[in-house]
Amino acid sequence: MCGIVGYVGDKDCADVLVDGLKKLEYRGYDSAGIAVFQNGEIEVEKSKGKLADLENKMKNEGKPSGHCGIGHTRWATHGEPSDINSHPHGNKRVSIVHNGIIENYKQIKDFLTGKGYVFESETDTETVAKLLDYLYDGNPIETLSKMIDKVRGSYALGILFKDYPDTIFAVRKESPLIVGLGENENFIASDVTPILKYTRKYYLLEQDEIAIIKKDSVKIVTPENEEITKEVLTADWDVDAAEKGGYAHFMLKEINEQPSKIKTTISPRIQDGMPYLEESGITMEMLKNSKRIFIVACGTAMHAGMVGKYVIESLARVEVTVDIASEFRYRNPLIEKGDLVILISQSGETADTYAALKLAKERGATTVSVVNVKGSTIAREADKVIYTHAGPEISVASTKAYSVQLSIMYLFAFELAYAKEKISKERCMELTKQLMEVPDKLAEVLELKERCQFIASRLVNAESLLYIGRGLDYALSMEGSLKLKEISYIHSESYAAGELKHGTISLVTEDMPVIAVATQSNLLEKTISNVKEVKARGAKVTVICKEGTEIGKDVANHLVTLPAMEDMLMPMLAAVPMQYIAYYTAALKGCDVDQPRNLAKSVTVE
Ligand code: M6R
């Protein structure tokens, strides 16, 4: 949430900042701004709205010209999106950009008001800007060190002090921040995407470390001003990965990348035809001894966990509880030593998932994270990490990250079931082989684009939709429903098909389209009965099923037929038509597909 970028070097700073913010806009996009040193003065430009609004403003009014500066793209927490509430905040002496939440901003504000400070914005960030101004005595490190003592909450801060016109200062607590290391130029950024064009080398800033960044040097110190030697990391994402590559939207590109990303994620984890998670520290011994499993995550990642639960329980016969992280952290869960807690997160920075991780560790459970962003907080702090290799996911609506999370859930379930001696080596190899076939089958599923486009054209005027399924199909329909509502703004619910008659079916009319997922052979008849029930009440029904399933015209208005695989693996295929239907419905409605209203990628606040 919120993107930060900073640049010092020979290039035109405003251009580099705006270009960098474009790469970070997925983190928040309700306002943007930059602060640049121009002839020794801090010049600020900011604007409500998308980055394009800031660019237009600078086109009309002129952009600050200089070689050192900071920029920000915002997702509002305190105060509505407006010019005044946009970052940077501060004055002619100190200017800051901030990602995170200042918990004690009210106390700081009251204190500073008592000292005669007047506040213009409704943001928590302005209190830090003014606090820095109040504490500043000519020594930035001492000032930042005092600030660290006084401020509670989460922050990644990029800071300019007027007296240091060739230097960016940066500090972080909980919110992520990296320092990009270029040739005669250096950067700060919320993640690696803005720096990839210039360099792959970077430092990961740790809690309360202070970075002093000049064109030709980067120094990292503790709050006590002791220099720290840090490991230089290398980003392995492609520059192209953060570009649309000819697709109309990142979401469409990311949907189409799924076969290759699944292959890259599972291939290194298969040895001699068997799942092999040892490189992530998941040993057979550990799996054999694990008692209960908790899967904790948010949103789409939680839906991947739901699929994981069904597969693990049915194959390995181990009890799995799936929790929404924001519930788990406050429900005093019964976890103890011996339990395995799996945290799933694309960004690795989701605040609630991170809190759940800390809680699980406190209670003595073994923690395993399944994370896409290398070096992110959840990846680093879990006992073990299994990286998914989806590459950067830019669209706010998660697609490829979900598929790779699913692929890891399967590998984990297969290996666990084998370790627990619930399946034979032959069966484990057979399942693994089928998982390896998923990318090719998915390539076929991607060809269903036009069919899904047509179905989307029938949904575009709906006010409300219902997604139904049983078992794994229910877990999948939860994801289908979330995808549609978050980007098309059409209300939708997912419901266990067998539960409809207990109340929700009263909503069904000819105006409420229903999407039924029916890929599980053992549940097919039951699901079809439920479909007939909604059809009898006028609903127009789309059924997603697999090849060879007989669905009469009296059952479905529209059919999406998937290549056949073992039932258990069908969610990997069925996810794609759901994503396509959501995508095309939103695109036909003219919605801002990649940046839906009110949302942001990487939810680093509670
Ligand atoms: O980065 P995470 O995987 O932890 O994010 C979790 C959710 O915020 C995320 O999946 C969200 O639900 C997406 N917008 C869904 O498309």
Query: What digits encode the pLDDT tens for the residues 576-601?
Result: 999 999 999 999 999 999 999 988 88
CB crowding 315-328: b at 16 or more within 10 Å, else e: bbebebbbbbbbeb
pLDDT at position 421: 97
Query: Who contacts 327 (Cβ-Cβ below 8 Å, separation ≥6)?
Result: none
Between 245 and 476, residue with greater pLDDT: 476
Q: Which atom belonging to ligand 1 lies closest to the Cα atom of 399?
A: 16
| Partner residues linked to 221 by β-bridges | 210, 227
How confident is the model over 311-344, as pLDDT tens digits? 999 999 999 999 999 999 999 999 999 999 999 9
Distances (CA, A) of 93 to 7, 114, 222, 601: 19, 20, 23, 32
CA of 545 to the centre of ligand 1 (A): 26
Residue 605 pLDDT class (50, 70, 90 cuts): confident
pLDDT at position 218: 98
Mean per-residue pLDDT for 63-75?
A: 95
Query: 527 CB under 6 A from ligand 1?
Result: no
CA of 300 to the centre of ligand 1 (A): 5
Q: Which atom belonging to ligand 1 lies closest to the Cα atom of 299?
A: 12
- Whether pLDDT at 457 is above 90: yes
CA of 301 to the centre of ligand 1 (A): 6
pLDDT at position 165: 95
Residue 562 pLDDT class (50, 70, 90 cuts): very high
Query: 369 CB under 6 A from ligand 1?
Result: no
Rounded distance, CA 605 to CA 77, Å? Answer: 9
Query: 395 CB under 6 A from ligand 1?
Result: no
- Whether pLDDT at 306 is above 80: yes
pLDDT at position 237: 82
pLDDT at position 303: 98
Token pair for residue 590?
């003219």
Residue 192 pLDDT class (50, 70, 90 cuts): very high
Rounded distance, CA 319 to CA 176, Å? Answer: 34
> Which residue has a Cα nearest atom 16 of ligand 1?
397
pLDDT at position 20: 96
- Whether pLDDT at 81 is above 90: no
Residue with tokens 């209960």: 292
pLDDT at position 553: 79
Query: 301 CB under 6 A from ligand 1?
Result: yes
Residue with tokens 């997160």: 345
**DSSP secondary structure, 91-143, as one string:** -SSEEEEEEEEETTHHHHHHHHHHTT----SS-SHHHHHHHHHHH-SS-HHHH
pLDDT at position 291: 87
- Whether pLDDT at 79 is above 90: no
Token pair for residue 278?
């040892």
**DSSP secondary structure, 228-252, as one string:** ---PPEE--S-SGGGS-TT-SSHHH
> Closest Cα to residue 131, out of 121, 115, 122?
115
pLDDT at position 29: 84
> Which residue has a Cα nearest atom 7 of ligand 1?
299
How confident is the model over 276-286, as pLDDT tens digits? 999 899 999 99
**Prediction pTM value:** 0.89
Q: Are 21 and 242 in contact (CB under 8 A)?
A: no
Residue 221 pLDDT class (50, 70, 90 cuts): very high
601 part of the active site: yes
Residue with tokens 């929700």: 504
Mean per-residue pLDDT for 407-434?
A: 98
Residue 482 pLDDT class (50, 70, 90 cuts): very high
Given ligand 1 and candidates 347, 369, 406, 602, which is best to mutate, with the most ligand atoms within 8 Å of its CB? 347
Residue 490 zone, left/alpha/beta (φ > 0; ψ -120 to 50; rest): beta
Rounded distance, CA 306 to CA 312, Å? Answer: 10
Query: What mean pLDDT, rounded, does the chain reach?
Result: 95
68 part of the active site: no
pLDDT at position 236: 85
pLDDT at position 602: 79
Query: 579 CB under 6 A from ligand 1?
Result: no
Query: 352 CB under 6 A from ligand 1?
Result: no
pLDDT at position 603: 83
Q: Are 64 and 43 in contact (CB under 8 A)?
A: yes
How confident is the model over 148-182, as pLDDT tens digits? 999 999 899 999 999 999 999 999 998 899 999 99
CA of 578 to the centre of ligand 1 (A): 16
pLDDT at position 82: 87
pLDDT at position 112: 96
pLDDT at position 243: 82
Q: Is 448 helix (H, G, I), strand (E, B) or coil?
A: coil
How confident is the model over 104-125, as pLDDT tens digits? 999 999 999 999 999 999 899 9
pLDDT at position 75: 85
Rounded distance, CA 597 to CA 487, Å? Answer: 8
Rounded distance, CA 350 to CA 358, Å? Answer: 12
Q: Is 370 helix (H, G, I), strand (E, B) or coil?
A: strand
Distances (CA, A) of 130 to 19, 136, 151, 298, 549: 28, 10, 12, 35, 66
